[in-house]
Amino acid sequence: MKTALITGATSGIGYATAKLLASTKNYKLILCGRRLNKLVQLQKELSDYQIHILNFDIQNFSECQDALNSLPENFQTIDILINNAGLALGLDLLHEGSLEHWNTMIDTNIKGLLHMSKLVSAKMVNQKSGHIVNICSTAGKDVYPKGNVYCATKFAVDALTKSMRQDLVNFNIRVSQVAPGHVEETEFAITRFEGDKLKANIYSDFKPLKAIDVAETILFIISRPAHVNIQDILITCTQQASATLINRSGR
């Protein structure tokens, strides 16, 4: 039974992935997040499975270290790292952007991913095996107006995925990526607009992906035979043709 660590496990894609992987009974899960109450609730929901929760902020490298060092013996070998935690804040022209928003996106989407990848890949190098899956975005493939810094962070994820794969290939470590378009059943939009439900209501005139659609894609990637590495999957709903072109004729 493999052990998979999922960051940002308390909502959206991370939550759906945790539930799906648990349901297969093929994985022990290390579920990470900043909100302890949400982690505890998820642990209760998955109480029939082998689950360990870690409450910390991936923006802080020391917290990442301490969290991983606290793992019990039966969870110390990490076979799969799913770098899911990420967020967007604001939708502003560059000269009107918030420095606080920029720093939070950079610290979470880039530095947080790097923190976890550095620590867990070191374990995988020693094991001579492992699989890292980074959650990117269509925003990491195609920029859009007012997306500036968020798009830049996801372009960074795309570049890091490629470079990590080259750095780790000689250690029998697979590195993959999923780049979803619009996904509902997540906190993405409500977080981006800081709780403004009116602004966050962006899916009413088309049918986006659901979190489970992305989770199933992740499961497909990590369940391939050991000699197969799915390097990159770009996935959108049928009504989304690009980062900016969406058929908004209704659901």
Rounded mean pLDDT, 33-43: 96
Residue 250 lies in a domain: no
108-139: pLDDT as tens digits: 999 999 999 999 999 999 999 999 999 999 99
Buried b (16+ CB within 10 A) or exposed e, 91-102: beeeeebeeebb
Residue 182 lies in a domain: yes
Residue 241 lies in a domain: no
Q: Angle 113-127/148-168 helices, nearest 10 degrees?
A: 10
**Domains: count for the chain:** 1
* CATH of residue 168: 3.40.50.720
Residue 73 lies in a domain: yes
DSSP 75: G
217-251: pLDDT as tens digits: 999 999 999 999 999 999 999 999 998 899 999 99
Q: Which residues are catalytic?
A: 150, 154
pTM higher than the cut 0.95: yes
Helix (H, G, I), strand (E, B) or coil at 183: strand
Residue 125 lies in a domain: yes
Rounded mean pLDDT, 57-75: 98
Domain with 51 in it: 2-235
Of all residues in the chain, the percent with pLDDT exceeding 70 is 100
Rounded mean pLDDT, 130-151: 98
172-200: pLDDT as tens digits: 999 999 999 999 999 998 999 998 999 99
